[in-house]
């Protein structure tokens, strides 16, 4: 799985700007401290995290729609400019997708998180700050990024929990996968990397999907982190093409 790092400097700026409004490092730290890798509260915790069912810690790629199923996954949002355009396009095509949200963006735009859920899409934890080097940091840091994002996304959605965890840039570790799985979030990979965050042009994005789809059903797009006009245009062309090829749309296996 390729590591994504290019074009991600915007998250450092967002993190800095969000420090004054986010409670991720304070209130959420209580939540983090209450859960270890097994999902059980640590000794002395005053409250337990919500009960959830542990899932497999292996990285999912397959689709629950079967051998001709595809999973549309949308990362890094929600974004007030691009997410509404993506949602409208998905509505027009009758397609459900998996939205991998960062904690900071979810906290900043809770109305969009609720709109995603209302449209029947599913949520994925994409960490708090989209740190693509988190696999090289402490296990405590990894846990906090995952668990704080889970809490904030759940609150922003009005109580709907993320069902998956996608490591920023694919920076999974055995520990991060175990933490996510203990909270009922299946680690989520991808098979088709559209490279849309590099803004290669809508034609290139479409061609990448058509060329790499035999690699597997999970396709990676982005709705934040920069100008996503090319992504929107590519989706406008890719979704009908997939239908013409006889594919159906599903969610990643759990």
DSSP 39-81: SPPPTT-SSPPPP------SPB--BTT-TTEEEEEEES---TT
pLDDT given for residue 51 in this prediction:
76
Answer for the pair 77, 99: CB distance below 8 angstroms, yes or no: yes
pLDDT given for residue 50 in this prediction:
53
Of 85, 133, 124, 87, nearest to 106 by C-alpha is: 124
Cα–Cα dist 5/130, whole Å = 10
The helix (H) or strand (E) run that includes residue 12 is: helix 9-18
Pairing of strands 122-125, 164-165: parallel
pLDDT given for residue 33 in this prediction:
33
> For each of the chain's 254 residues, which pLDDT tens digit applies?
445 544 444 444 444 434 333 444 434 443 333 333 333 323 233 334 457 999 999 999 999 999 999 999 999 999 999 999 999 999 999 999 999 999 999 999 999 999 999 999 999 999 999 999 999 999 999 999 999 999 999 999 999 999 999 999 999 999 999 999 999 999 999 999 999 999 999 999 999 999 999 999 999 999 999 999 999 999 999 999 999 999 999 999 99
Helix-, strand-, coil-residue percentages of the chain, each rounded to 5? 45, 15, 45
84: left (phi over 0), alpha (psi -120 to 50) or beta: alpha
What separation, in Å, do the N-terminal and C-terminal C-alpha atoms of the chain show? Answer: 19
pLDDT given for residue 9 in this prediction:
45
> Is residue 61 among the annotated active site residues?
no
Other CB atoms within 10 A of residue 37 CB: 17
Cα–Cα dist 243/155, whole Å = 35
- Choice among 109, 121, 126, 222 that is catalytic: 222
The helix (H) or strand (E) run that includes residue 204 is: helix 202-212
Of 127, 136, 123, nearest to 32 by C-alpha is: 127
> Is residue 75 among the annotated active site residues?
yes
H-assigned helices in 102-201: 103-108, 110-118, 139-157, 174-182
Cα–Cα dist 122/140, whole Å = 27
- Choice among 75, 79, 131, 223 that is catalytic: 75
CA dihedral of 246, 203, 71, 58, whole degrees rounded to 10? 130
Here the tokens at position 108 are: 């900043």
Answer for the pair 52, 231: CB distance below 8 angstroms, yes or no: no
Of 124, 128, 163, 168, nearest to 146 by C-alpha is: 128
């Amino acid at each position: 799985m390729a590591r994504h790092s290019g074009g991600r400097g915007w998250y450092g700026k967002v993190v800095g700007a969000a420090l004054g409004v986010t409670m991720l490092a304070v209130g959420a730290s209580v939540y983090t401290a209450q859960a270890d890798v097994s999902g059980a509260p640590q000794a002395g915790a005053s409250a337990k995290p919500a009960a959830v069912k542990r899932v497999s810690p292996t990285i999912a790629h397959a689709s629950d729609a079967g051998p001709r199923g595809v999973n549309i996954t949308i990362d890094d949002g929600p974004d007030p400019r691009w997410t509404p355009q993506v949602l409208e396009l998905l509505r027009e095509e009758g397609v459900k997708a998996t939205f991998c949200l960062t904690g900071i963006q979810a906290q900043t735009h809770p109305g969009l998180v609720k709109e995603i859920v209302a449209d029947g899409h599913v949520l994925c934890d994409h960490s708090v700050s989209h740190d693509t080097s988190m696999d090289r940091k402490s296990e405590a840091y990894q846990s906090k990024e995952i668990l704080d994002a889970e809490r904030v996304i759940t609150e922003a959605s009005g109580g709907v929990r993320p069902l998956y965890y996608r490591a920023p840039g694919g920076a999974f570790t055995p520990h991060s996968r175990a933490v996510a799985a203990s909270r009922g979030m299946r680690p989520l990979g991808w098979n088709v990397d559209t490279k849309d965050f590099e803004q290669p042009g809508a034609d290139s994005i479409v061609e990448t999907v058509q060329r790499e789809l035999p690699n597997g059903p999970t396709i990676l797009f982005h709705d934040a982190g920069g100008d996503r006009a090319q992504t929107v245009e590519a989706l406008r062309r890719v979704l009908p093409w997939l239908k013409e090829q006889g594919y159906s749309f599903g969610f990643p296996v759990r």
